[in-house]
């Protein structure tokens, strides 16, 4: 019985695919990768005889018919998605036609670029008593935002926010953050091509100057914007410790010291 796997390729570094994703690539008869975002290097795990194609110029219909066609010939067919397939990946739009065609499918999770960006800059998206919440979102461009999800509204939580698909909308990001009560000198982080060998760029700035800094670095695509009260904590003198490692804190695996 053939199966189509939606595999998270990870953020770019071919080594950031999961062990399971790598194994499936080795077994795959056909792989369709999202060339606009997934490094072709990720397909290096596929066999010599594997039918590898780039979906860059394809419509959603082209993609699903390709997957259905290949599933008739191969047991393992892979749609290689950037980062994790559950985020901005048109997953359901691809799964539904497969369901309708009676083709089995499975999703293999991946490392999202949100996490690769935090890793690149050695940032923690959560810190005790600073913020315990991460909002994964985008700002409104051509895709409208549902009610209650404008950046202005979400930013009022003062939690960490990772903005996908928004690097060309930095001006709007600035306006909305300020309107939500953030300060012009609050820190902001932009990571382009997080984890891509030799191509990663990290830009640190403030809400006021990040746009100019990104312009100077010619960053206009494939970038994550991170806004967080935790940014730069590596250099803080005083840090509230995580309770998990606190000597006076009892939990499932350890008793508190007296
Ligand atoms: N499913 C993907 C996101 C796809 S949407 C994931 O989990 O990461 C595409 C957006 O993701 C881009 O516009 C950019 O904001 C972000 N992105 C993807 N790869 C990236 C990378 N290596 N570094 C920084 N941002 C990246």
pLDDT confidence bin for 167, thresholds 50/70/90: very high
Show which of 55, 75, 108 is a domain's final residue. 108
Pairing of strands 201-206, 187-192: antiparallel
- Nearest alpha carbon, ligand 1 atom 11: 164
> According to the model, what pLDDT value does residue 240 have?
73
Whether 35 and 103 map to the same domain: the answer is: yes
Judge whether 52 and 35 are in contact, CB under 8 Å.
Answer: no
Per-residue pLDDT for 258 more than 70? no
Helix (H) or strand (E) holding 33: strand 30-33
Whether 222 and 155 map to the same domain: the answer is: yes
Angle in degrees, CA 53, 57, 58, rounded to 5: 75
Whether 142 and 226 map to the same domain: the answer is: yes
List, in sequence order, the alpha helices (H) in 101-227: 113-120, 151-154, 170-179, 210-216
Helix (H) or strand (E) holding 99: helix 91-100
Whether 64 and 39 map to the same domain: the answer is: yes
Q: Quick one: which of 10, 200, 173 has its CA closest to 89? A: 10
From the CA of 110, how far away is ligand 1's center (Å)? 12
pLDDT confidence bin for 191, thresholds 50/70/90: very high
Per-residue pLDDT for 35 more than 70? yes
> According to the model, what pLDDT value does residue 243 have?
67
- Is the CB–ligand 1 distance for residue 160 below 6 Å? no
> According to the model, what pLDDT value does residue 250 have?
75
Whether 121 and 86 map to the same domain: the answer is: no
- Is the CB–ligand 1 distance for residue 83 below 6 Å? yes
Q: What is the mean pLDDT of residues 8-22?
A: 94
From the CA of 7, how far away is ligand 1's center (Å)? 15
- Nearest alpha carbon, ligand 1 atom 9: 165
Structural domain of residue 68, as residue ranges? 3-108
How many separate domains does the chain show? 2
Whether 148 and 214 map to the same domain: the answer is: yes
- Is the CB–ligand 1 distance for residue 12 below 6 Å? yes
Would residue 7 count as lying in a domain? yes
From the CA of 172, how far away is ligand 1's center (Å)? 19
For the segment 135-152, what is each residue's pLDDT rounded down to a tens digit?
999 999 888 999 999 999
CATH of the domain at 164: 3.30.950.10
Per-residue pLDDT for 224 more than 70? yes
- Complete edge-to-edge strand list for the sheet that includes strand 51-54: 51-54, 30-33, 76-81, 3-8, 104-108
Per-residue pLDDT for 154 more than 70? yes
Would residue 40 count as lying in a domain? yes
For the segment 80-129, what is each residue's pLDDT rounded down to a tens digit?
999 999 999 999 999 999 999 999 999 999 999 999 999 999 999 999 99
In 130-247 the beta strands, taken as DSSP E runs, fall at 134-138, 160-164, 187-192, 201-206, 223-227
Question: Which residues face 131 on adjacent strands?
Answer: 127
Instruction: Say what the pTM is.
Output: 0.93
Average pLDDT score, the chain: 93
Atom index in ligand 1 nearest the CA of residue 120 equals 23
Whether 90 and 120 map to the same domain: the answer is: no
Would residue 249 count as lying in a domain? no
- Is the CB–ligand 1 distance for residue 117 below 6 Å? yes
Would residue 163 count as lying in a domain? yes
Whether 139 and 222 map to the same domain: the answer is: yes
């Amino acid at each position: 019985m053939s199966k189509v796997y939606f595999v998270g390729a990870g953020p770019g570094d071919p080594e950031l695919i999961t062990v399971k994703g790598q194994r499936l690539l080795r077994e795959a008869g056909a792989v369709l990768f999202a060339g606009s975002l997934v490094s072709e290097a990720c397909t290096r795990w596929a066999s010599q005889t594997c039918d590898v194609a780039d979906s860059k110029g394809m419509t959603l219909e082209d993609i699903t018919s390709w997957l259905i066609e290949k599933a008739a010939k191969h047991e393992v067919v892979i749609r290689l998605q950037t980062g994790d397939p559950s985020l901005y990946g048109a997953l359901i739009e691809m799964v539904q036609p497969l369901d309708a065609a009676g083709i089995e499918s499975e999703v293999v999770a991946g490392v999202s670029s949100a996490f690769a960006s935090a890793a690149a800059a050695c940032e923690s998206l959560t810190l005790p008593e600073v913020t315990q919440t991460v909002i994964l979102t985008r700002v409104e461009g051509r895709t409208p935002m549902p009610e209650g999800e404008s950046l202005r509204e979400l930013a009022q939580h003062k939690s960490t926010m990772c903005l996908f698909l928004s690097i060309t909308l930095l001006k709007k990001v600035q306006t909305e953050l300020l309107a939500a009560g953030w300060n012009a000198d609050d820190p902001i982080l932009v990571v382009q091509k997080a984890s891509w060998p030799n191509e990663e760029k990290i830009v640190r700035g403030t809400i006021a100057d990040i746009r100019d800094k990104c312009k100077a670095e010619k960053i206009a695509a494939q970038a994550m914007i991170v806004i967080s009260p935790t940014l730069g904590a590596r250099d803080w003198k005083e840090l509230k410790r995580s309770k998990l490692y606190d000597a006076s804190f009892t939990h499932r695996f350890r008793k508190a010291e007296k």
